[in-house]
Each structure stands twice: as C-alpha cells, then as structure tokens.
Amino acid sequence: MGWLLALPFLLPIATGLLAMAARRRPRQARAISLAGCIGLFVVVVIIFVRVLDQGTIAAQMGNWPAPFGISLVVDRLSAIMLLLAGLVGLAVAIFAQADVDLRREVLGFQGFYQLLLAGVCGSFVTGDLFNLYVWFEVMLIASFALLILGGERAQLDGGIKYVALNLVSTLFMLMAIGMVYGLTGTLNMAALHVAFAEVDQPAALHMLAVLLIVAFGIKAALFPLYFWLPASYHVPPVAVTAVFAGLLTKVGVYALIRTFTLIFPADFRFAHDLLLIAALLTMLSGVIGAASQFEFRKILAFHIISQIGFLVLGLALFSPLALAGSIFYMVHNIVAKTNLLLISGTARRMAGSFKLAEIGGLYRASPVLAAVFFIAAFSLAGFPPLSGFWAKLMLVSASLEQAAYWVAAVALITGALTLFSMSKIWSEAFWKPHPQDGVRALASLSATERVQRMLPAILLVAISLGLGLFPQPLIHFCEVAAKELLDPAAYVATVLPARDG
Amino acid sequence: MISLILQGATRLLVALILLFSVYMLMRGHNLPGGGFIAGLIASAAFVLYALAWSLREAREALRVSPVKLAAIGALISLASAVPGMLKGFPPFTGLWLFIGGGAGDKGIPISTVLLFDVGIYLAVLGAVLALFFTIEED
C-alpha cells in the first residue's frame, strides 16, 4: 500500500532524472518521458479504483506512525485529482512531442515536465502540511524552469513576475505553518483536525485563516491576487500553458478545499465569508478581463481566473451540494480548459498567430478541429447538455438552496460573458476568412504531427462529451466525496492510530 | 586577483573543509548535521578553490560535471528506498546492517538512511556548484 501511494511522485521523479540524463538525445528523452506518463496514468487509475472500492487509504512513510512521520492519504477528492493529473499529464506529453522545439528539449524540457507532475501529484497525496509546502516548492522550481526555458525576452519578463509573486505566496505559507506548529505542535492534517477543534484563540485562528487564504489564493489566482497569471501564461510554449492551466492553479484550489474542510473547524464562518467575496469578484473580473482581450491564448488565460472563482464558490457556500458542484466543476474545467489551450496551439500552427485579427478560416481548413473547439468552448460556457452545464447547475442550485440569489445571478452573468468570449473566438478564428488567405490545412501536416496534436484533443473532448451526456455516475461520486469532506471523521480514523482509552 | 596567501591557505583549508563536511554528514543521523548541510559545506570548499585558483581548475578538481553529480546523487537517494521495498516495508523505511558485531557491541551500523543522506550530499553539492559555475562563467 505504501508503495502504491508513493508512486505518483516517485515515478515522475525517476522518469525526470532519466529524461534529464538523456536530454542530449531528445528522441530517447521523449520516449522515456512518454513511457513515464503512461506509467503514471496506470498508477493513478489503480489508486482511483482502490479508493472507489475501499474508501480513504493511507500510508506512513518510513514506517513512522502518524502524527510523527509523513502520512500519505488519498480520499475521493485526492483520488479524482490524481486521476485528472495523470490524464492531463499524458495528454499534454503527447501534444508536447509536436509542439516543443528541439532546443527546449535539449535544455531539459522533459525532465522539468516530469518534476512538475511529481510536485502536483505529491501535493494531492500528502497528508502533511509541511510536506505540502515542499511539493509547492518543487512545483514552483519546475514551473519557473518551464516558463523561462528557451530564454526569450518575453519569457524572462513573465517568468520573473511569476516567480516573485509566487515566492511571496510560499513565504506566507511558511509563516502560517510556523504558527500552526506553535499553536498545536503537529503538522499532520488529520491530527490538526483534532487539535484545531480544541484551539481556543479566535485571534490566532483568524490570522492563520487569512495567511493561508493569501498563500493559497496567490497559487490559485484568486481576486485580487491573480495578476501574475495574465502576466506570465502567454509566454511559454502552448504545451506548458496547457499543463499550467490544467493543473497548477487547481492545486491552489485543492489546498484551499483541504484546509477549510479538514483542518479548520466546520463552524468557522469567517473564512467562508471571505472566500465567497473573493470568489464572486474573481469570477467577474476574470471574465471581464477576458472580454477585453483579442488574443486566442490571452482570452483563455483570463478565463482560467474566472473559473477559479466557480471552484472556490462551492467551498465558500459550504453545503454538500455546493462542494459536490465544486468537485464536478474541477473535473469538467481541467478537461475542457487543457483541451482549449491545446486547440489554440494547433490553431496557431495552422493560421500562424494567436492574434484574432490576424487569423481566420480555420473552420474551412479543418472541420474536425472546429468541431472539437466548438464542443470544448461551449462546454466551458455551460451550454446544455455539455459537462459545464451540469457543473454550473449544481453550483447555482446550491446557491439558490441557501437563498443567495445574488450569488446565482453573478454565476449566470459570468456564464453569459464566457459565452460572449467563446463566440468571439469562434467567429474570428474559425468562421471569418483568413485575412491573408494564409491558413494551412490540417492535412498538410505530417501524419505523426497530426496524431500528436489531435489525439489528445479528441480524447479530452470525448471525456467532456461523455461527462455531459452521462453525468450521473460522476455526480454521485462527487456527492460522496463532498460528504467525506464535510465529515472528516473517517479520514482522521484512517490516518491516526486508534488511541487507547 | 591572484593572492599567494589565499592560494597557500586554500590548499590546507579545502582538505579540512571537505573532511569536516564528511564529519557533518556522518553525525547528522542523531545530531545537527546531515546530507543537506554537509553538501553545502563541501560546495563551499570548491567555491573557495575556484576563487583562489580559477574556475577551470575547480572544475578539474571536481572531475565530474556538477549536473551529472546532482543526478547521480538523486538516483542514489531514490535507490535507498529499494531495500525497504524488497522486504515489504513502506517506502523509505530505515533498515540497518551491523558489521563486525560481538557480545555487548552492535558493531558498525550501516543504514539505508545513511545511503539516502549520501545521495542528498551529492545532489546538493552538484546543484550548488552547477549554479555557481554557471554564474561565475558569465
């Protein structure tokens, strides 16, 4: 059991080291990296099936009993996040074979890519607050390297902004961790759940909540802490943006959900009220920012922010339905968003630019790409019967349930504005003719490149469609996962050894 | 700048610093020290050598490329998890082998924890020197 739970990060680290060693032979490094991603996907599927079967599973690293050693814990939320990380990791790894140039591969792209996956998976399996910080650092190092790899001027500019603001986040997190340890004497999340229920210092709790919201809020790109994201996400190769969009900000949201369901007591309304305001402003400001952009990738980058608002909204409303909605939204969003970015990369390959004014004619050049974009984009906007519709429906009905009508109103307005942005891309990039008639057909690319670019996109869009047409199994899964989050007793009992007397 | 005093002192100091780093590595199991800090100390020795003599000579003294050293170190650390796996323990469980034990004496303890620390030592040494050499070259 211990090995199974450690593999999601041990495997990418080992793969990354091997790929790094072989980086001067890019063909070999690619093969290693792809094999590692397939292996990772198999491992997360096994873990997912095991969790479906047995509920929460835990392992103690180094055979040190909790709360002294580092615990690895996978409950339903972690399991589905791991599954998504494995899926996105594999899809983007295939796409990157066509998208990332040789120079970046020699500089070690594949190695850093695997390190990033290790950081993401490590964050999802750990049951220890300090270990979470370590995985955040691993992710930060890997993502900074991926951002600036290639050393173009714009990349360095975006990279510096990214790393500076994220260092502030880790600093806040470290301060919070120090205070938590001083307050309770443990950093094991399950033990913290027990300890925090007995802490009788409201001032310390409030301060910790703010510190952690700021730390994870920067990572997740919450209002008003998101300005690093639009400054940096449009500079690296599309494959890098896609994996960032799919996984990085979501780790921040995951950490927020974990902290404010497991560690803090459930009746601590202060944090939820604060998160509710932040979520609503994030939704609105992200979508309005997107409406003002005229570049394919920048529009998508602003939409990442807006959708982070939806994910946090479910946590802020804090009812079983709302949390289930958040998890469903997470699944839908990771699949659809990663896919849209992959499509934007292929669109640029065919039409020559990200600027909407300079491209066009993609519908005529490749109806398949247009169809894939159409489904992914309208799923993002929440059109029935696509996956985004069910996600939004759950969140909106959760807010109506609590008579928070203005929350529902903001969610619907955001949905309408998302539709506006997606239609803008559709009419500019796909429908109108290319201004210089310079669009190349998908069929003119080599067969291998076509497979590498289209296979992940079609795979992801099939998942989006499947979730939209048959949402019931996932909705049920999300409801059980939300129930687990709201009642952590089973989680705590699995991690901590039974106490005598 | 070439300084005869610094160069002369460096010859002695580098050996001492490296020896001290190994001492820190070994005592780290139960006392302050360990692979990370020992790796930093060892890299300080090579940095001093590079400042007193030259970057090229420091590279030659290291013999292997620092990036390779870091990768080897990380792989050694990962490998320290293997004995635990073979015996069916959770990852990174510490296992001991006692050499030359007799009555009342457990002998010299060799553990997978030490192997892990040696890996960290090499990884830190390699990573710090890779950074330092790159920055110095510009």
**pLDDT tens per residue, range A253-274:** 999 999 999 998 888 888 899 9
Residue of A nearest to B77 (CA): A14
Q: In the predicted model, is pLDDT for residue B20 greater than 90?
A: yes
* Least confident residue range of A323-332, A403-412, A432-441, B75-84: A432-441
- Cα separation, A477 vs A465, in Å, equals 18
CB of A14 within 8 Å of a chain B CB? The answer is yes
Please name which of A262, A333, A276 lies closest in space to residue A493, comparing C-alpha atoms: A262
The end-to-end CA distance of chain B, in Å, is 17
- Cα separation, A428 vs A420, in Å, equals 12
Q: In the predicted model, is pLDDT for residue A290 greater than 70?
A: yes
* Least confident residue range of A3-12, A91-100, A332-341, B89-98: B89-98
CB of A4 within 8 Å of a chain B CB? The answer is no
Helix or strand holding residue B135 (H, E): helix B112-137
Kindly report the average pLDDT of chain A as a whole number.
Answer: 89
A456 found inside a domain: yes
Contacts of A342 (CB under 8 A, 6+ apart): A91, A92, A95, A238, A239, A242, A453, A456, A457, A460
| Peptide bond preceding B109 in cis form (omega within 30 of 0) | no
A242: its two tokens = 């896609």
| Predicted local distance difference test score (pLDDT) of residue A500 | 45
| Predicted local distance difference test score (pLDDT) of residue A94 | 93
A6·B91 Cβ contact <8 A: yes
Contacts of A482 (CB under 8 A, 6+ apart): A320, A321, A322, A323, A324, A326, A327
Confidence tier at B1 by pLDDT (50, 70, 90)? low
Sequence length of chain B is 138
- State the average pLDDT over residues A341-370: 86
State the number of CA atoms in the 13 A half-sphere of B124 facing the CB.
19
Confidence tier at B138 by pLDDT (50, 70, 90)? low
Burial of A473 (0-12, 13-18, 19+ CB in 10 A): exposed
Q: What is the pLDDT of residues A452-485, one digit of tens each?
A: 888 999 999 999 999 989 999 999 999 999 998 8
How many CB atoms within 10 Å of residue A196? 18
The C-alpha of A339 sits at a distance from chain B's nearest C-alpha, in angstroms, of 33
Contacts of B81 (CB under 8 A, 6+ apart): A10, B91, B92, B112
Contacts of A82 (CB under 8 A, 6+ apart): A8, A44, A47, A48, A74, A121, A124, A125
% pLDDT > 70, chain B: 96
- Cα separation, B37 vs B25, in Å, equals 8
Distance of CA A471 to the CA centre of its chain: 20
| Predicted local distance difference test score (pLDDT) of residue B71 | 86
Please name which of A278, B3, A72, B72 lies closest in space to residue B11, comparing C-alpha atoms: B3
Residue of A nearest to B67 (CA): A21
- Cα separation, A348 vs A314, in Å, equals 35
Q: Decide if A414 contacts A284 (C-beta within 8 A).
A: yes
Q: In the predicted model, is pLDDT for residue A411 greater than 80?
A: yes
- Cα separation, B73 vs B85, in Å, equals 20
| Predicted local distance difference test score (pLDDT) of residue B98 | 78
Domain extent, residue A477, equals 266-486
- Cα separation, A85 vs A90, in Å, equals 8
| Predicted local distance difference test score (pLDDT) of residue A68 | 83
| Separation in Å, CA B133 to CA A259, B37, B39, B46, B50 | 41, 19, 16, 10, 9
Contacts of B68 (CB under 8 A, 6+ apart): A21, B126
- Cα separation, A17 vs A15, in Å, equals 6
Amino acid (1-letter code) at residue A261: T
The number of distinct structural domains making up chain A is 1
Q: In the predicted model, is pLDDT for residue A437 greater than 60?
A: yes
Q: Decide if A112 contacts A57 (C-beta within 8 A).
A: no
- Cα separation, A347 vs A350, in Å, equals 5
Confidence tier at B131 by pLDDT (50, 70, 90)? confident
Give the one of B75, B90, B94 whose C-beta lies nearest to A59's C-beta. Answer: B90
Q: Decide if A337 contacts A245 (C-beta within 8 A).
A: yes
Q: What is the pLDDT of residues A157-214, one digit of tens each?
A: 888 888 888 999 999 999 999 999 999 988 999 999 988 888 888 888 899 999 999 9
Contacts of A202 (CB under 8 A, 6+ apart): none
B93 to chain A: which residues are within 8 Å by CB? 62-63
A2·B90 Cβ contact <8 A: yes
Q: What is the pLDDT of residues A26-43, one digit of tens each?
A: 889 899 999 999 999 999
- State the average pLDDT over residues A326-348: 92
- Cα separation, A403 vs A419, in Å, equals 26
B90·A63 Cβ contact <8 A: yes
B90·A61 Cβ contact <8 A: yes
**Secondary structure in 3-state letters for A107-124:** CCHHHHHHHHHHHHHHHH
Residue A188 phi/psi, 5-degree rounding, is -70, 125
Write the DSSP string, A441-466. PGGGS-HHHHHHHHHHHHHHHHHHHH
A60 to chain B: which residues are within 8 Å by CB? 90
| Predicted local distance difference test score (pLDDT) of residue B56 | 87
Cβ-Cβ pairs closer than 8 A, A with B, add up to: 37
A282 found inside a domain: yes
- Cα separation, B134 vs B138, in Å, equals 7
Q: In the predicted model, is pLDDT for residue A501 greater than 60?
A: no
Burial of A499 (0-12, 13-18, 19+ CB in 10 A): exposed
Domain extent, residue B121, equals 4-137
| Peptide bond preceding A230 in cis form (omega within 30 of 0) | no
- State the average pLDDT over residues A277-284: 92
* Least confident residue range of A332-336, A432-436, B74-78: A432-436
The number of distinct structural domains making up chain B is 1
How many CB atoms within 10 Å of residue B97? 12
Residue of A nearest to B74 (CA): A17
How many CB atoms within 10 Å of residue A25? 13
B78·A14 Cβ contact <8 A: yes
Give the one of A20, A21, A62 whose C-beta lies nearest to B90's C-beta. Answer: A62
| Predicted local distance difference test score (pLDDT) of residue A51 | 93
| Separation in Å, CA A69 to CA A45, A128, A293, A369, A398 | 26, 9, 48, 49, 39
| Separation in Å, CA B29 to CA A311, B21, B26, B67, B101 | 44, 14, 7, 26, 20
Q: Decide if B109 contacts B98 (C-beta within 8 A).
A: yes
